[in-house]
Amino acid sequence: MHEINVLGKKYKIKSSLSPVEINKIAKEINEKYKILEKEYPTFDKLDILIFYLIELYEVVYNLKKKLSREEEIKNRIKNKLTDLEKDVVLTLQNLTIVD
């Protein structure tokens, strides 16, 4: 169980991340909140956090798209290698030895 401080409030959370990593995340949240608070001075805390949530989701969404594209490329390469292996085996089987 890790204890973090986000926006002046303490939270206890379970995570597979180390305490150092969890505290780094909490620090980044606090810093980003301060930036958004200055950028949108008339917005309340919830609105600012929703903006931040949308921004984070966009990052996650783009990473998922990138991962999906990379997985597609990996599968195409794997299929090409399989086809190439089959071609090599067929070619070797069709070779005749000439004395």
* Mean pLDDT for the chain overall: 93
Question: pLDDT for 63-84, tens place per residue?
Answer: 999 999 999 999 999 999 999 9
Written as one letter, the residue type at 74 is K
pLDDT of 99 reads 60
- pTM here is 0.68
How far is it, in rounded angstroms, from Cα 23 to Cα 70?
Answer: 31
Write out the chain's pLDDT in tens, 99 residues: 889 999 999 999 999 999 999 999 999 999 999 999 999 999 999 999 999 999 999 999 999 999 999 999 999 999 999 999 999 998 888 887 666
For 4, phi and psi rounded to 5 degrees? Answer: -130, 160
